[in-house]
């Protein structure tokens, strides 16, 4: 088994043998230990970069589907979500956007406007990763959205650190088969990958902007986490290429920000095992074995080709041993409690600063309520956080795209420093391969008079950590995450210490 064969098992919430995600009945944490233990045969050879998938390259000239959106904005407006608190002072919308009328393939979105000065705030698109996990169930309901779900699974409380304080935010469930998104063509659930996900997300945006024409000229920023290290730079690259077609709406893309991002199979895998050892999660002997027998490939950014290396059985054995030695912890946040019966404490409801390890349980209950689905204008369905869609293409690296994007738009990469799944070491190693000159030296940044993390500015790329945050940064450190994203949107580094 190649070193890169374990990357999806480490990253995904569901088993991915032969590049097929099985149906997810549990949450991401439940599946982690099973999948790490079930490391199976190597995946088929995959393309090395987005350029090999985007076969039209810079020659996108044919128009894509844009349907009539007349009256749909008002039809999508949410009157009130069941169980929402009083005093909601912003508009919210939800519904479907058709991206392929022939297949009857449609993507579901949830959109929240800013409660303050919405017409002058930018537009943010949020994408969760997986691949195959819901931006509604994770991003909107557990991380940066305006509400969190109480432990009763029926009522909501306000997230005072929601990102719609500083932007108008779209949460997109993509690709079809994820969350409420659907297709009438069953093959769309077994034949999907990075390429079609980017293409469908682009068609979604074009149609959504027709539905909400007041946002056509608004600055757009694409954000996401985890496998969105693929989604975000690929969609951004596709948009910039398509913007050259004067027959389509030009999308005013200004920047991207990706958190704890899986952006290179081999570099991120090396970063994971280095992180485990440096955080006392496995033994010296195991770490020495990983370093001795595992020859992690690297990406040649001049030729855009992976440097071939030979994996060994000993490498696989030591990697398995490393993952076994860390025991039953939450790899998303290595110092965080696990969800069990004693962790569900009603007294902690209503306080977004209290990390809730069982939040995905509450969210699943809420989003499966018939009255909630009706309020969201969603089809009556069994909603799950991560869905069983087949994945047919996934480049080994998105570093070439990040390198190219950094020349023309704002690029930030951020890392919660207690995430063991796609840890800070992986992000730092990946950025290092870009060989960018440092323009602003490594320094602490502050949120609420405390160090919120550390930041370094490279030419074209800003890298920042978020102190005390796990894989889903806003879930663990909502205030620090808001400080960081507000700085990103303003195009400036996070703040330094306040004058004493």
Query: Annotated active-site positions, please?
Result: 226, 419, 471
Tokens of 419: 């995430």
CA-to-CA distance for 334 and 425, rounded, in angstroms? 14
CA-to-CA distance for 381 and 97, rounded, in angstroms? 17
CA-to-CA distance for 53 and 70, rounded, in angstroms? 34
- Vertex 384: Cα angle to 89 and 5 (nearest 5): 120
Count of Cβ atoms closer than 10 Å to residue 252 Cβ? 17
CA-to-CA distance for 16 and 287, rounded, in angstroms? 26
How far are the Cα atoms of 80, 108, 184, 194, 284 from residue 137, in angstroms, in the given order? 18, 12, 23, 21, 39
Q: Are 7 and 265 in contact (CB under 8 A)?
A: yes
- Vertex 128: Cα angle to 122 and 133 (nearest 5): 150
Tokens of 189: 């659930």
């Amino acid at each position: 088994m190649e070193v890169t064969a374990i990357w999806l098992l480490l990253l995904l919430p569901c088993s991915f043998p032969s590049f097929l995600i099985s149906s997810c009945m549990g949450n991401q944490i439940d599946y982690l230990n099973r999948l790490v233990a079930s490391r199976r045969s190597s995946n088929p050879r995959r393309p090395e970069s987005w350029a090999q998938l985007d076969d039209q390259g810079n020659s996108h000239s044919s128009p894509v589907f844009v349907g009539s959106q007349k009256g749909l904005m008002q039809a999508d407006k949410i009157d009130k979500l069941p169980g929402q608190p009083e005093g909601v002072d912003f508009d919210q919308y939800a519904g479907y956007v058709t991206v392929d009328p022939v297949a009857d393939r449609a993507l579901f979105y949830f959109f929240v406007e800013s409660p303050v000065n919405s017409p002058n705030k930018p537009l943010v698109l949020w994408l969760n990763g997986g691949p195959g996990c819901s931006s509604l169930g994770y991003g909107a309901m557990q991380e940066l959205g305006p509400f969190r779900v109480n432990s009763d699974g029926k009522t909501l409380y306000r997230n005072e650190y929601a990102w719609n304080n500083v932007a108008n935010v779209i949460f997109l469930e993509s690709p079809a088969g994820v969350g409420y998104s659907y297709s009438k063509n069953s093959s769309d659930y077994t034949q999907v990958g990075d390429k079609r996900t980017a293409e469908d997300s682009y068609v979604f945006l074009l149609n959504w902007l027709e539905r909400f024409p007041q946002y056509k000229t608004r600055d757009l920023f694409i954000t996401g986490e985890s496998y969105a290290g693929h989604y975000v730079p690929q969609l951004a690259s596709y948009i910039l290429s398509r913007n050259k077609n004067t027959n389509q709406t030009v999308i005013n893309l200004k920047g991207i920000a990706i958190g704890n991002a899986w952006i290179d199979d081999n570099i991120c895998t090396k970063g994971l095992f280095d992180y485990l050892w440096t955080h006392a999660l496995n033994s010296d002997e195991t770490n020495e074995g990983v370093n001795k027998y595992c020859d992690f490939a690297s990406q040649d950014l001049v030729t855009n080709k992976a440097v071939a290396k030979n994996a060994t059985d000993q490498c696989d054995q030591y990697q398995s041993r490393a993952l076994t030695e860390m025991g039953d912890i939450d790899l998303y946040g290595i110092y965080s409690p696990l969800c069990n019966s004693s962790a569900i404490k009603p007294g902690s409801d209503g306080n977004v600063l209290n990390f809730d390890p069982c939040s995905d349980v509450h969210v699943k209950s809420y989003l499966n309520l018939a009255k909630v689905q009706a309020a969201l204008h969603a089809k009556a369905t069994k909603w799950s956080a991560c869905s069983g869609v087949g994945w047919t293409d996934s480049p080994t690296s998105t570093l070439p795209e990040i390198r190219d994007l950094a020349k023309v738009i704002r690029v930030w990469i951020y890392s919660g420093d207690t995430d063991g799944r796609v840890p800070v070491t992986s992000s730092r190693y990946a950025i290092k391969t870009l060989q960018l000159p440092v323009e602003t030296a490594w320094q602490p940044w502050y949120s609420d008079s405390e160090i919120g993390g550390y930041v370094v500015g490279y030419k074209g790329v800003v890298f920042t950590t978020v102190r005390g945050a796990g894989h889903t940064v806003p879930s663990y450190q909502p205030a620090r995450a808001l400080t960081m994203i507000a700085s990103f949107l303003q195009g400036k580094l996070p703040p330094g210490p306040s004058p004493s």
